[in-house]
Chains A and B, each alone.
Chain A
């Protein structure tokens, strides 16, 4: 186990160095001079060169990279050109909004996806199986930015059941404790805030959950079908166990490995999807921030966000790998050998 984790950690460090080099180079390839942006259009050439010197942009690329990594290791991602606030601070605040949205989407997609997949496999070739797999294909094919807009029109504009956008109603008395509004509402016993935040969360979370939900449903179904054809399931049935016990105790437990992998790997999809969902629903998360920063050519912010997104993705992949290794005893034996 330790050998496996250390090997994966070495791989992770290598990937992170590669990602940092790539992000560093790509940001420098974006047209436009950051110094110019910082001092404004009408600044004198002297001012521009002073800022270039201050930012270290007059140095060679290897030296600039060295400074960049040195600062990064201290948690310093530079300052946002727009707000002059440290990028790490901006990222942290927005990241919590994205976490809240992603977790909600992950819960919705896992619950509905696994349930649909299990029922489909237990009733293979039934109407439910057929309909749920068609729905899964529809879910994978649907542009989430379109789905989001249509849901917004139906539930917010037409029916008036849910709020149009944002994280909670402006003007509501909210003091952040954890940065997760729902959790803060629960912790402080402020149910008005909790309900308000929940209503705001429903549409973006559901929109974001559709693609992972479809993928999880398909994977659960195929994984369950494979397990259900095994001899030990026949034995369990022959013992007279109920259908529920066979499905949930024996089959689902053994079909869980690929499902967990898919749930973990879908995290990348959620992060990518958050860029679009947050833009549609004006959700103040990291996805929307990165798009806004790019539009405003706020390079330190873009650089910080993309690096942060990649680190999260790589870490999630590592956790999935370790979990997989932990859950599958065969891998543990192979890993030792």
Chain B
């Protein structure tokens, strides 16, 4: 499918467009955040502790009197960056491993895929928790942990694409013309594995944001006073009886961002790779 065709299809797809609008709004919020946020996200205001939503503080204030709206706005930067970096960490090695495994077959395939199977034997969040425990709780380590956990998923998807692609006529033609393995992989197979990778990476952004927020919620992600949504939600948990807004708004923000990526990813899948449905 040509790029222009994809764009036309994309414009027609309601789900993709709805997702794109949500993502665009949150990315815009992340970019212009410092100029539009009404208060500083880190400076406490002890007089205004745990105040409910009002005109002065649209999302209310937290236990230190900080404006939750400002923290949510700043948090959007963190969550989007977490998603991008975590997905890159899984995507790059995952794609490489999948390409090698699928193309070279047995001797290369067996050790790589069996290692991936072992990684897949752990529930994702547990493996992420385990990796964070080794690396130490921090924002960077959260991204690394979430990234590592999803490497096998990309490796599997790319491998299965490569397995069918390498038998196709155009690959055999390049081979008979003397094309090297590297050339075949880089110029002929890899570009054709891109549609499923793009779809999975878009959906993977949502998953990465969710997992990172979960680690933050468990106290293993970003540390105070960083306005990371998961960590903010965790703090709100203590005040759920008297001040539910402290947890409500960061959670809503996580939900909106993940929903955006899922809607867009679903739409992309319909257009680029209906077989994944």
Q: Is the pair B134, A291 in contact by a Cβ cutoff of 8 Å? A: no
Among B213, B219, B237, point to the contact of A149 (Cβ < 8 A): B237
Q: CA of A314 to CA of B119 in the docked complex: distance in angstroms? A: 11
Chain A residue with the shortest CB-CB distance to B15: A137
Main secondary structure of the interface of B (DSSP, over half): helix
Q: Is the pair B240, A143 in contact by a Cβ cutoff of 8 Å? A: no
Among B217, B248, B258, point to the contact of A150 (Cβ < 8 A): B248
Q: A18-B118, A294-B129 are in contact. Are A143 and B237 (CB under 8 A)?
A: no
Q: Is the pair A150, B214 in contact by a Cβ cutoff of 8 Å? A: no
Q: Is the pair A142, B244 in contact by a Cβ cutoff of 8 Å? A: no
Of A175-183, A238-246, A272-280, the one contacting chain B is: A272-280
Chain B residue with the shortest CB-CB distance to A211: B210
Instruction: Give per-residue flags for A19-37: 1 if the beta carbon is below 8 A from chain B beta carbons, else 0.
Output: 1001000100111000000
Q: A142-B255, A143-B210, A306-B126 are in contact. Are A276 and B217 (CB under 8 A)?
A: yes
B117 at the interface (CB under 8 A from A): yes
A146 at the interface (CB under 8 A from B): yes
Q: Is the pair A143, B258 in contact by a Cβ cutoff of 8 Å? A: yes
How many Å from the CB of A283 to the closest CB on chain B? 14
List the B side residues contacting A273 at CB < 8 Å: 125
B277 at the interface (CB under 8 A from A): yes
Q: CA of A310 to CA of B127 in the docked complex: distance in angstroms? A: 10
How many Å from the CB of B228 to the closest CB on chain A? 13
Q: Is the pair B125, A222 in contact by a Cβ cutoff of 8 Å? A: no
Q: Is the pair B217, A145 in contact by a Cβ cutoff of 8 Å? A: yes
How many Å from the CB of A227 to the closest CB on chain B? 15
List the A side residues contacting B244 at CB < 8 Å: 149-150, 153, 157
B102 at the interface (CB under 8 A from A): no
How many Å from the CB of A65 to the closest CB on chain B? 15
Q: Is the pair B251, A15 in contact by a Cβ cutoff of 8 Å? A: no
Q: Is the pair A309, B136 in contact by a Cβ cutoff of 8 Å? A: no
Among A18, A22, A279, A302, point to the contact of B133 (Cβ < 8 A): A302
CB within 8 Å of B: which A5-58 residues: 11, 14-15, 18-19, 22, 26, 29-31
Q: Is the pair B126, A146 in contact by a Cβ cutoff of 8 Å? A: no
How many Å from the CB of A264 to the closest CB on chain B? 14
Q: Is the pair A153, B123 in contact by a Cβ cutoff of 8 Å? A: no
CB within 8 Å of B: which A283-311 residues: 290-291, 294-295, 302, 306, 309-310
B68 at the interface (CB under 8 A from A): no
Main secondary structure of the interface of A (DSSP, over half): helix
Q: A30-B133, A275-B126, A309-B126 are in contact. Are A141 and B259 (CB under 8 A)?
A: yes
Q: Is the pair B263, A309 in contact by a Cβ cutoff of 8 Å? A: no
Q: Is the pair A137, B266 in contact by a Cβ cutoff of 8 Å? A: yes
Q: Is the pair A314, B248 in contact by a Cβ cutoff of 8 Å? A: no
Contact size class for A? 35 or more
Q: Is the pair B121, A153 in contact by a Cβ cutoff of 8 Å? A: no
Q: Is the pair B123, A313 in contact by a Cβ cutoff of 8 Å? A: yes
Q: CA of A269 to CA of B277 in the docked complex: distance in angstroms? A: 19
CB within 8 Å of B: which A131-154 residues: 137-138, 140-143, 145-147, 149-150, 152-153
Residue contacts A-B, CB under 8 angstroms, 17 given = A11-B117, A14-B114, A19-B121, A137-B263, A141-B210, A141-B262, A143-B210, A143-B254, A147-B251, A153-B244, A268-B123, A271-B123, A272-B123, A272-B125, A275-B123, A294-B130, A310-B121
B: which residues have CB within 8 A of A? Answer: 114-115, 117-119, 121-126, 129-131, 133-134, 136, 206, 210, 213-214, 217-219, 230, 233, 236-237, 240-241, 244, 247-248, 250-252, 254-255, 258-259, 262-263, 266, 277
Please name the 8 residue pairs, one residue from A and one from B, whose CB atoms are nearest each other, closest first: A146-B251, A18-B118, A272-B123, A141-B259, A272-B125, A141-B258, A153-B244, A310-B121
